[in-house]
Each structure stands twice: as C-alpha cells, then as structure tokens.
C-alpha cells in the first residue's frame, strides 16, 4: 500500500480523498493556487504545495507543476478527483511514465472511453444503441449550424472534454446553434484545455440514469447499481438519488451488464460511470462514460455500504476487488443535494465572497466511514469565514441523506436543508427545498426537463408555498416576545421607562414592493424559563416549545407537538429591525411591533428603487471578458452587449430594449461587482 498520495484537486473532493487516506494510514499532499492558500483541503492535508495563480489554466491544469509537486514531496501515487486533469489521458500517461501511480483508469482506457467522441465510435462498433449525431470534431460555428439542420432541432452541442455542465448547450434554432458552438468551445478551452465540439440529437423527455462501475487490474468489473440524475438545471445535476424510482430490476440488470461489457472491452480498472439516456418505455441508449469518480458517488456509497475512494486506492495498488457481483448490496434510499454558491432568485447567477456563517446540519454519517448509515452527511471544502472565489465551480457542499425508503430520505433531506446555515453569500437551498416538496418529484414522476418545465420563468419566492404560512408568523412572534421578556428582566431600568413586554403584537410581513401584510397576534405568558408560549391568530393557535437561545440562527423545537428546525436572522439588508425567517424553502421578512406602531407603519410611504433601465448592469461578481458594443452604436433588443466569466461559466448579457450606446463604463478585463454598470444607453 502507498505511504503518501498527492491529491491533484481542490474543494470538497480533495477533502473527501484526504479523509479516506487518513483512515487507511496514508499521508496526503494537497496542492493549492493563490486563491486557495487558506482553503480547507490545505489545512486537512499533511503537506501542501503552492502551484500558481488563481486561474485553473495557471495552476490546477498545469501537469508539470502537479508532477513536480509529487516528486518534491515523494508522493508515490496521485488521485485526480474530478474535473481539472482527471479525465486527461495524456496527463495519466505522463504520471505513469514518471513512475507515479495514477489512482484512476489506465490512460488507454481513458483515451478510448473518456473522450466523448471516441467513446461513441467505440460503443457504436460494439453494437450499443447510440443517439443520432455527428461524432467527429466540428471546425466552425457555421458547420455546427449546417450539421444541426441536417439532424433536426433540437440538438445538443457538447465539448468532447466537457463535464459538470461546462461546454454544453441545447439549441432549438440556427442562432442558438451558432452561439452555443462559440460558448462551448470557449468554456471547454478555459476549463479543460480542449476546445473540440460535436453535435447530437437532443432526446426530449429523457431520464438520465447512470451505472457506477468498479474494476481491478485482474480483469474483474462490477456494477454498483444505478443513480437517478434526471433533476438537472441547464444540464448540471441538482439532486441525485440511488436507486432510481423509475427503472425495473430487469432494466437495472440489463444496463449494468451492458456497462460492464463496455468497460471490459477497454480493460477498465478503477471507478467509472456509464451514463445512459432512458426512454419512457425503459429503452436505454449509451450517452458517455466518465472515467473518474463522480460528484454524486456518496449516494452509491450509502446504499452499497462501500467506500469508493478506498476501492480506487486499493485497485491502484494492485489489489483484487473484495466482492463479487452477487455480494453488491442495495440497502435503503439515498439522496444528494448540491449546495451551490448561486442566487436562485436572480436566475441562479454565481454568488462569490466571504462566508460570514457556514454551519451545516448535524452529521451522523461521515466521509470514509462505512459503519454508520441511515443519517445525514455533508461533504464540503469550505468553512466558516472562508472565501468563495470566482475562479472555480459554484458547488460549495453536498448534502447527503440515507433513509429506509424514498419518502423517509425526502423527509430527512428537507429537515437537513432547514438546518443548513449559509450567510454572506447566496445559496440554492430555497430552490432545493422547493424541488423536494414538488408533488411530481415526491411521486417520482420527472425527467431531465423537470426544472425547465416547472420553473420556466425562473425561480421566485412565491414558487415555494409553505404548507402552513401562519407557522412562520407565529415563530416570529415567539422570538420577538422572548427577546422582550429578556429585555424586561435586565436590571437598572429607570422607573416609568422599563420595557413593557405586552401580549398583543402585529406581525408585519414586508413585501418587496411595499405591499405589506398585517397580522394581529396574541402571545400567552411564557411558562417559567422553559421557552414555551401559545400564539393565537384568529381561530388558529400555535404552541411553540424551544430551548434555542436568542442569538442562535438555527432554532429547533416543537410546534403543536411536531418537531421543527427553522432559521431566524435579526436584521436584513433593507431593515436592521426586521426578522428574516426561513423554513422549508420559504423565506419571509417581518417586523413584530405593537398595534399602535403597526398603525403608524401602515402610513409610511414606500420608497421605490431608482430606475436603472438605461443601464446594462453586471448581474454577478465576475471578469468582463468582452464588450461587444461601442459609444454611438445602435443596439436592438436581444443583441449581445457583454460577456462575463464567473465560476468557469460564460454569461452573455443582452440588451433588454432598443437603444443607442451613450457610455461604456467598464473595460474588458475588469473585475466587476454585483450591479456595477457596464453600458449606459441614451
């Protein structure tokens, strides 16, 4: 067994590999860029080597620096994680030639199956059903449009080295095919140093189901059941689960055996995943093979009881697989939610900056631990006070739950999301909560178009209807009353000016456009110090018990005998006196005031935000890579104005209306802040 391994990656996957190595008694080496100097994976590793500037192409994608770090530290093996160089066959070959063991498949297997174009050719020659398309690299955007017309829209434009939603677009017309080719090429070049792009027919209403494989150097390959990955937004997975609620045992067996046959054809060893598109009738088509560990591997670990990273390391060291196909378990149901640094209420734009608070829910399952199951696990590469840089992927954590069945797993995940506190940046937790509560998701009735169909106009706060909105109002009154009781108990108050606790309040729910709602509530006395009160609103009453302290962001307790976890934050960006409450994805801002103060508040005029329609504003922090207009130019609605790059994704900004450019306020290459003006129209 190896004594020391280097992890050629960053973030949560680097931390994940380190945990298994520690369990196995193996020393670890981290690598880091300038942006990751204080990152969590650097702190967890036994050693760390600096490899360059923040941009991936100057650090994590530079093979020479990675190999030099191995030699410098005496690392005998290298784990590539996922992304970056993990599926680069040339890199794997170089690592082996330098006498370092690559903890992954052999370079020849990777070249045959990791390349999306070559793998399709190989699958076709092996008699596997493939989706119609052109499986050779396309040289220009014009050629891409011509091919797309021949196949018939819609088509999928995909970078050969793409992954994680990078270098992938769906086009429904010539304009989208032209734009998509350009964006895919650029994203793939920046993220993977390979700009080859191909086109295939986009199968509508498909399911995305993948088979997890593990192979050894002795010719053994096993399939470790399947993962359901159909809940996607812009082809990036959002929720993954194992097993799938859709396929039958017969389909599972057929898909697994076909995946194993493909892997054996290229002498595959290590962990890998064969992805399939599955139709309504459970017919399935080979999509591609990922020759690496997948982001969503924890759900497979939960239902099989295996540590996939440990198996990868043992296989790389020459060991045989410790089980047969018949011994592979399928126990319970696991779900994973990807927690991303993005704002779901601003069209999921990246959100970078300082993590003022980062407190995940209590964990009962842990990375690399194959003893404790049926609980909650958090895989992350960040920590309280850490920085979310603009240079890398937006995923900051993975929340994994393991339940006895699917409904148990959904209930556990909803409660875990309620207790996941992230402050300082925006996260997609409200969106995840809404998906988990959607009747079609709960019923298992969905395909890869689920999010596009159900949230066609984006995601808004009203898309998360709370099953009992009065609960949040009652909780606000409970918290406010508790703070009043505490304030009244302070000594040294002047006679006649002491805090009056009172029992009658009005909860003012603050609307973003000044449309406030006023709810009178009556709060009965607290019973001693136990933190309990009865809140009445008309005919409804809520008996809340909670021992949480006033300064706790996460409040736990019971309401009418049912346990709850909710978040209460004091002060909002617009109103330091307001309370912000979150529960089951619903978020409200409220003021809890006396009846007289509520009367006066209702008379306050609403201050409308300034009109910024003449400006094109940066919707996120990012790098301005292109300004497509100049002063005096006439611009039509929908015309390209600027391109911003953030978290490895290109975001094109278009003009909202016809106009003439009066000023260009930001220069190409400039780092932009949120809502910074780029162009002003006259």
CB of 539 closer than 8 Å to CB of 521: no
Mean pLDDT confidence for 248-270:
93
Query: Which of 148-157, 365-374, 491-500 has the lowest average pLDDT?
Result: 491-500
Q: Please give the structure tokens belonging to residue 122.
A: 């190989």
Question: 32 is written with which tokens?
Answer: 């880091």
CATH number for the domain spanning 176: value is 3.30.1490.20
Whether residue 496 is contained in a domain is answered as: no
Catalytic site residues? Answer: 288
Tens of pLDDT, residues 318-365 = 999 999 999 999 999 999 999 999 999 888 888 888 899 999 999 999
Q: Report the b/e string of 254-283 with b at 16+ CB within 10 A.
A: ebbebbbebbebbebbbbbbbbbbbeeebe
The per-residue pLDDT for 389 is: 85
Domain end, chosen from 569, 601, 633, is at 601
Question: Residue 36 has what DSSP assignment?
Answer: G
pLDDT tens-place string over residues 216-232: 999 999 999 999 999 99
Q: How far apart are CA 1 and CA 316, in angstroms?
A: 9
Residue 414 tokens, joined: 């909803």
Q: Is residue 111 part of a domain?
A: no
pLDDT score recorded for residue 664: 94
What is the domain count for the chain? 5
Confidence of residue 668 (pLDDT cuts 50, 70, 90): very high
Q: CA 39 to CA 10: how far, in whole Å?
A: 8
**CA angle at residue 186 from 185 to 187, to 5 degrees?**
95
Gap between the Cα atoms of 56 and 315, Å rounded: 29
Q: How confident is the model at residue 133 (pLDDT cuts 50, 70, 90)?
A: confident
- pLDDT at residue 190, as a whole number: 85
Q: What is the pLDDT of residues 5-22, one digit of tens each?
A: 999 999 999 999 999 999
Q: Of 4, 22, 39, 11, which is closest to residue 309 (Cα–Cα)?
A: 22
Q: Do 252 and 382 belong to one domain?
A: yes
| End residue of a domain, out of 175, 201, 227 | 201
Q: CB under 8 Å to 483, separation ≥6 — which residues?
A: 550
State the pLDDT at residue 118: 76
pLDDT of residue 146: 92
Predicted pLDDT at 457: 83
Q: Mean pLDDT highest for which of 28-42, 279-293, 457-471?
A: 28-42
Q: What is the CATH number of the domain that holds 459?
A: 3.30.470.20
Tell which wins on pLDDT, 115 or 31: 31
Say which CATH number the domain at 63 has: 3.40.50.20
Is the pLDDT confidence value at 647 over 80? no
At 466-508, the pLDDT tens digits run 889 899 999 999 999 988 888 888 888 888 888 888 899 999 9
Same domain, 228 and 151: no
pLDDT tens for 409-433 read 999 999 999 999 999 999 999 999 9
pLDDT value at residue 245: 96
Question: Would you state the pLDDT for residue 528?
Answer: 57
Same domain, 552 and 638: no
pLDDT value, residue 177: 94
Same domain, 536 and 651: no
Q: Quick one: what percent of the chain has pLDDT higher than 70? A: 98
Note whether residue 258 is domain-resident. Answer: yes
In DSSP terms, 28 is beta-bridged to 5
Q: Looking at the structure, tell me whether residues 150 and 292 fall in a common domain.
A: no
In this structure, the answer to whether residues 507 and 638 fall within a common structural domain is no
> Which are the contacts of 575, defined by CB distance < 8 A and separation ≥ 6?
510, 589, 591
Residues 560 and 642 reside in one and the same domain = no
For residue 117, is it within any domain? Answer: no
458 and 474 co-located in one domain: no
Domain limits for position 45: 4-103
Last residue of a domain, one of 62, 88, 103: 103
pLDDT, tens digit (0-9, with 9 covering 90-100), for 511-555: 888 889 999 999 987 765 568 899 999 889 999 999 899 889 999
Query: Are 242 and 337 in the same domain?
Result: yes
Pair 282, 160 in one domain: no
Q: What is the pTM of this model?
A: 0.84
CA dist 263 → 216, 221, 256, 313, 607 (Å): 11, 7, 11, 19, 63
Average pLDDT over residues 153-178: 87
Which 8-state DSSP code applies to residue 365?
S
Domain at 519, CATH number:
3.30.700.30
Cross-strand partners of 502: none
492 falls within a domain? no
Average pLDDT, the chain: 91
Q: Indicate whether 320 belongs to any domain.
A: yes
Residue 285 confidence class, pLDDT cut points 50, 70, 90: confident
Rounded mean pLDDT, 391-405:
94
pLDDT 10s digits, 593-626: 999 999 999 999 888 878 888 899 998 888 899 9
Per DSSP, 204 falls in state: S
> Before 154, cis peptide (omega within 30)?
yes
The pLDDT score that the predictor gives to residue 530 is 65
Asked whether residue 493 is assigned to any structural domain, the reply reads: no
Q: Looking at the structure, do residues 526 and 549 belong to the same domain, yes or no?
A: yes
The answer, yes or no, to whether residue 655 has pLDDT greater than 70, is yes
- Do 147 and 81 lie in one domain? The reply is no
Whether residue 134 has pLDDT greater than 90: no
CATH number of the domain within which 632 lies:
2.40.50.100
- Mapped onto helix, strand or coil, the DSSP state of residue 463 is helix
Find out whether 89 and 107 touch, Cβ atoms under 8 Å: yes
Are 646 and 666 in contact, with CB atoms under 8 Å apart? no
147 lies in a domain?
A: yes
């Amino acid at each position: 067994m190896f004594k020391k391994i280097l992890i050629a990656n960053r973030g949560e996957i680097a931390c994940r590999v380190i945990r298994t190595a520690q369990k196995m008694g193996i020393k670890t080496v981290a690598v880091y860029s300038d942006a990751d100097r204080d990152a969590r994976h650097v702190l967890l590793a036994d050693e760390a080597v600096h490899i360059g500037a923040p941009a991936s192409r100057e650090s994590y994608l530079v093979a020479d620096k990675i190999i030099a770090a191995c030699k410098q530290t005496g690392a005998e093996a290298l784990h590539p994680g996922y992304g970056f160089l993990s599926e680069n066959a040339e890199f794997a070959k170089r690592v082996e030639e330098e006498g370092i063991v690559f903890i992954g498949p052999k370079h020849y297997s990777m070249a045959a199956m990791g390349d999306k174009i070559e793998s399709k050719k190989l699958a076709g020659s092996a008699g596997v059903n493939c989706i119609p398309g052109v499986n050779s690299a396309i040289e220009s955007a014009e050629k891409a449009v011509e091919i797309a017309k021949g196949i018939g829209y819609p088509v999928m434009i995909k970078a050969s080295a793409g992954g994680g939603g990078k270098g992938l677009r769906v086009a429904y017309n010539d304009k989208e095919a032209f734009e998509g080719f350009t964006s895919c090429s650029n994203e793939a070049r920046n993220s993977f140093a390979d700009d080859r792009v191909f086109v295939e027919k986009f199968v509508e209403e498909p399911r995305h189901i993948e088979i997890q494989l593990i192979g050894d150097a002795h010719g053994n390959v096993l399939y470790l059941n399947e993962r359901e990955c159909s809940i996607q937004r812009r082809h990036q997975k959002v929720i993954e689960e194992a097993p799938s609620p859709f396929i039958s045992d017969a389909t599972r067996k057929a898909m697994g055996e076909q995946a194993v046959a493909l892997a054996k054809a290229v002498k595959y060893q290590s962990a890998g995943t064969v992805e399939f598109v599955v139709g309504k009738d459970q017919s399935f088509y080979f999509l591609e093979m990922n020759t690496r560990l997948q982001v969503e591997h924890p759900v497979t670990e939960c239902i099989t009881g295996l540590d996939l990273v440990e198996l990868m390391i043992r296989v790389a060291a020459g060991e045989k697989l410790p089980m047969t196909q018949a011994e592979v378990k399928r126990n319970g149901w696991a779900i994973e939610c990807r927690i991303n640094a993005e704002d779901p209420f601003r069209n999921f734009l990246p959100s970078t900056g300082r993590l003022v608070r980062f407190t995940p829910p209590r964990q009962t399952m842990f990375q690399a631990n194959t003893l404790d199951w049926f609980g909650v696990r958090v895989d992350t590469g960040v920590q309280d006070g850490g920085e979310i840089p603009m240079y890398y992927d937006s995923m900051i954590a993975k929340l994994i739950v393991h339940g006895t069945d699917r409904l148990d797993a959904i209930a556990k995940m909803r409660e875990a999301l309620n207790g996941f506190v992230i402050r300082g940046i925006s996260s997609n937790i409200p969106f995840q909560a809404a998906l988990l509560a959607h009747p079609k998701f709960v019923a298992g009735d969905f395909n890869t178009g689920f999010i596009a169909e159900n949230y066609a106009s984006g995601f808004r706060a009203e898309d998360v209807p709370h099953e009992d909105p009065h609960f949040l109002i009652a909780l606000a009154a409970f918290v406010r009353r508790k703070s009043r009781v505490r304030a009244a108990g302070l000594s040294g108050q002047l006679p006649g000016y002491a805090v009056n606790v009172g029992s009658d309040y009005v909860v003012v729910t603050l609307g973003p456009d000044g449309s406030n709602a006023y709810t009178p509530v009556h709060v009965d006395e607290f019973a001693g110090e136990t933190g309990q009160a009865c809140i009445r609103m008309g005919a409804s009453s809520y008996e809340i018990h909670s021992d949480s302290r006033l300064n706790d962001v996460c409040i736990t307790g019971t309401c009418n005998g049912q346990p709850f976890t909710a978040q209460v934050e004091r002060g909002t960006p617009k109103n330091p006196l307001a309370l912000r409450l979150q529960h089951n994805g619903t978020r409200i801002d409220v003021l809890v005031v006396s009846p007289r103060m509520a009367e006066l508040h209702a008379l306050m005029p609403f201050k409308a935000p300034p009109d910024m329609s003449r400006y094109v504003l940066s919707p996120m922090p990012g790098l301005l890579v292109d300004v497509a207009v100049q002063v005096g130019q006439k611009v039509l609605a929908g015309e390209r104005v600027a391109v911003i790059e953030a978290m490895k994704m290109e975001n094109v900004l278009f003009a909202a209306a016809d106009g003439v450019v009066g000023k260009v306020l930001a220069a190409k290459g400039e780092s932009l802040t949120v809502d910074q003006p780029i162009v002003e129209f006259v």
